Amino acid sequence: MKLLYFDTETTGLDPVVNSIIQISGIIEINGILVEEFNFMVKPVEPREMMSDQALQTHGYEGYYFTKFPEPAEVKRNLEKIFSRYVDKFNKHDKFIPVGQNISFDINFLKNFWEREGDKYLFSYVNVASQVDTLATFRMLRHLGLIESPDLKLETLCRYYDIELNAHDAISDINATRELYQIIKTKLKWSEQ
């Protein structure tokens, strides 16, 4: 099984208007971590369209973005990484995306790809098989199998004693991978 854990940090909440400023991921094949990546990305929208709240959350000032690589360069680097592990022409050879509220990140990555003139992100990623740790923990809390005041990544990391530097995509995705491993191996499922 080819898992692509990934997380994005963005300039706001709207993938049509806002941009990815950081994308990080872990590629795991058959339970073995084979690659980790972390890219900063120069945003495409003007500063006035960026959410002040998002920038405060990440701690970046607008001028800092000028040092980040251009989106086209980051996309080329991501394609090189993805192509090492997935045959984009084989419909059965795709990454399964895994993340905390993964649809948010998928929507941003899809728009990032399309802004670069490429509508074929899903040549690499099977979104129909996505695994959302948030949805899983929501169900576990509903069933009374975990007791957590909320389901934010920071709260779940405190609950399971996982180290996290919140709102840094590489830290977030490593923590999410640990949460996925807890779901997969450590939670006790009752047999009826």
Instruction: Note whether residue 157 is domain-resident.
Output: no
Give the number of domains in the chain. 1
- With respect to residue 100, please indicate whether it lies within any of the assigned structural domains: yes
DSSP 178: H
DSSP letter string, 97-109: EEETTHHHHHHHH
Domain holding 99: CATH number? 3.30.420.10
- Does 31 have pLDDT greater than 90? yes
Q: Which residue has the higher pLDDT, 67 or 94?
A: 94
Percent of the chain with pLDDT over 70: 95
Is residue 178 included in any domain, yes or no? no
The reported pLDDT for the residue numbered 185 is 84
Q: What is the mean pLDDT of residues 112-129?
A: 94
Structural domain that includes position 33: 2-133
Task: List the structure tokens of 86.
Answer: 């997935």
Integer Cα distance of 5 and 191 in angstroms? 29
What is the structure's pLDDT at 167?
A: 81
DSSP 70: P
d(CA 145, CA 72): 44
The predicted structure's pLDDT at residue 8: 95
Average pLDDT, the chain: 91
In a domain, 168, yes or no: no
Looking at residue 82, its amino acid is F
- For residue 129, being part of any structural domain is answered with yes
Pairing assessment for the beta strands 96-99 and 2-10 based on DSSP bridges = parallel
On whether residue 184 sits in a domain, the answer given is no
Q: Does residue 180 register a pLDDT over 80?
A: yes
Tokens 């509903």 sit at which residue? 142
User: Is there a domain that residue 73 lies in?
Assistant: yes
Q: Is residue 125 part of a domain?
A: yes
What's this model's pTM, rounded to 2 decimal places? 0.91
Instruction: Please report which helix (H) or strand (E) contains residue 158, including its range.
Output: helix 153-159
